[in-house]
Amino acid sequence: MTSYTRRTVLKGALAAAGTAAVVPASAIAAPPSGVALVRNRLTLPSGIATGDVTVDSGILWSRASGAGQLVASLLAVDDDGSPLRNGRAFQRVLRGSAASEATDFTAKITAQHLPAGTRFAVSMHFEDADGNAGETAQGSFSTAPGSAAPRGGRTRGDGIGGGGTEGGGTRGGGAPRRQSFVWTGDTAGQGWGINEEIGGMRGYAAMHATRPDFFIHSGDTIYADGPIPAQVTEPDGQIWRNLVTAEVAKVAETLNEFRGRHRYNLMDKNIRAFYAEVPVIAQWDDHETHNNWYPGQILSDDRYTERRVDVLAARGRQAWQEYQPIAGPSDGSTGFEPARIYRKISRGPQLDIFCLDMRSFKDPNTDGKETQLMHILGQEQTDWLIREVSRSKATWKVIANDLPLGLVVPDGPVNQESLSNRDDGAPLGKELELAGVLAAFKRNRVKNVVWVTADVHYCAAHHYSPERAAFQDFDPFWEFVAGPINAGSFGPNKLDGTFGPEVAFFKAGAYANQSPRSGESQYFGHVDLGEGDVFTVSLRDANGAVLWSKALQPER
């Protein structure tokens, strides 16, 4: 095994936020001992990523320039990049799946049986058929804290309130549990792509600067239905200049065009640096396929030659699942695997994340006023959500919903995209499904449930309470909205009063489809879990400015 020291890869792997994660081919370090340097070695054109990191596991991801096998090295390290010693040492080499044309040369490794609360330096490269090692990239990630003190020193997070400052915790026994995360959605929408003149997708750099332990991408990871032109003239006359590729010049219909959308986003230096050091929990929503889609829909969109949304969604999901650091299907052929988009990510005694799929099982968009139950989750996912949240022993249960609960999101003049129906009365249609979930949580005495979402292109904090609601069989809860992170800004949307939402805060752009140029109309959320498991949430803009924050005390 290669010998690592503080003076080699670990210093680079744990450099300050914002440093490029992929080593340029011209400056790549020598290959591992005994491996000859060869021409045309495999490179890493899309960087590296980790995802779905739990107390003891995670997914490692990368993409090669050609056929090869993914190889990763993990080393448990301290804050300064020094290998852990004195019984805490951990070093492992893992070999993953083959990268081939069948997966667009993406590959993954499922890392299991990892120590909890531990920070790892990770390096990845591909080996070709002759065993030649290619370009190497370094990154890092931390497993979630377990019941004991973290290994490897401090847990990251720039907490605001809640007893937290960056690095609150100490090496050795007795360190308090803490972790932080960020969330947002909506990347490269409305034709606002990678503008290198302003530094690319700077919102990702702002999230990276908070040093979170993980990131929830709440959907619209790409805009498959939104072409990205070479330039856009903004209302004030400024010219927004996009980096463009052939695949983003039109709506995505073929599998390669869907894949090309993901490749495009990973051309951004900020995203690559962020993903190399911050594990992703990815969701999908509508724009991974088409705006406001639902199963069985036939598109009335003249830009498309293929108008069967089920065909487009199958291609879109395959590309999404290939490019996200998420466990793949057992046969590796289609990208479909039930229960993998909706899933639970255990983050230790403090926190469980319940990641929803509000797209795959959705009934058609109507006015939402049916007296019978209509689905947005589907029965199987609804049963899973009630069962798993009710069983959770974590202090906080965060439900990542890729569509907001109480906001009216129209799909045309009559129909609704989300579950709200513009009627403040008793639940109807898709609202009946949510009513069943909320009532079950109350019946099962579930405490400390928080919902986080994106989708509507502005940020907001909503408090739901039965005393204001037409439907009252539930306990009060918060829903926090963030996004976009690199797309046009819109909003605010109207609230539907069925579940008694109240706006505690919101901020939207100055006008509809405002560009990301200033950063002031792009938003993400940050959560710090500090001493006493206080859940401190803040809403921030893409310049890192804190717009609003609140500390939630856990109920015991």
DSSP 491-525: -PPPBPGGG-EEEEEEE--SSTTB-STTSTT-EEE
Q: Which pLDDT value is given to residue 340?
A: 73
User: How far is 535 from 480, CA to CA, in rounded Å?
Assistant: 13
**Local structure of residue 26 (DSSP, 8 states):** G
| First-residue to last-residue Cα distance in the chain | 48
Q: What is the pLDDT of residue 147?
A: 77
pLDDT band at 416 (very low <50, low <70, confident <90, very high): very high
Look at residue 428 and tell me whether its pLDDT is greater than 70.
Answer: yes
CB atoms within 10 A of CB 514: 22
Amino acid occupying residue 556: R
pLDDT of residue 494: 96
Radius of gyration of the chain (CA): 23
Tell whether pTM > 0.85: yes
Which one is predicted more confidently, 79 or 339? 79
Q: Are 225 and 252 in contact (CB under 8 A)?
A: yes
Mode of pairing for the β-strands spanning 119-127 and 68-77:
antiparallel
Q: Are 91 and 129 in contact (CB under 8 A)?
A: no
Cβ atoms 211, 17 nearer than 8 A: yes
Whether 152 shows a pLDDT value over 70: the answer reads no
Higher pLDDT, 330 or 356: 356
What percent of the chain has pLDDT above 70?
Answer: 85
Domains and their CATH numbers in the chain: 9-142 (2.60.40.380), 179-552 (3.60.21.70)
Does 17 score more than 90 pLDDT?
A: no
- Contact between 519 and 510 (Cβ < 8 Å): no
pLDDT tens figures, 164-182: 333 333 333 344 578 999 9
Percentage of the residues of the chain whose pLDDT score is greater than 90? 82
18 contacts 273 by C-beta, under 8 angstroms: yes
Neighbours of 361 (CB within 10 A): 17
The pLDDT of residue 182 is 98
Residue-wise pLDDT tens digits, 91-137: 999 999 899 999 999 999 999 999 999 999 999 999 999 999 999 99
Beta strand 396-400 pairing with 280-282:
unpaired
In this structure, the number of other CB atoms found within 10 A of the CB of residue 177 comes to 25
**Mean pLDDT, residues 333-353 taken together:** 78
* CA 169 – CA 193 distance, rounded (Å): 39
CA distance 433 to 487: 31
Rounded CA-CA distance 327/60 in Å is 9
Residue 10 pLDDT exceeds 80:
no
* The dihedral formed by the CA atoms of 254, 256, 258 and 262, expressed in degrees to the nearest 10: -170
Strands 396-400 and 449-453: parallel
List, for residues 200-255, the tens digit of each pLDDT value. Answer: 999 999 999 999 999 999 999 999 999 999 999 999 999 999 999 999 999 999 99
Contact 122, 84 (CB under 8 A): no
Which of the pair, 355 or 531, is modelled with greater confidence?
355
Chain position carrying tokens 């003149």: 197
Q: Are 444 and 406 in contact (CB under 8 A)?
A: no
Beta-ladder partners of 60: 50, 109
Alpha-carbon span 9 to 482, nearest angstrom: 35
Q: How far apart are CA 236 and CA 244, in angstroms?
A: 23
pLDDT score of 331: 41
Average pLDDT, the chain: 88
pLDDT of 87 reads 75
Residue type, 254: T
* Residue showing tokens 């083959």: 98
Per DSSP, helices labelled H in 266-421 are 269-277, 309-323, 379-391
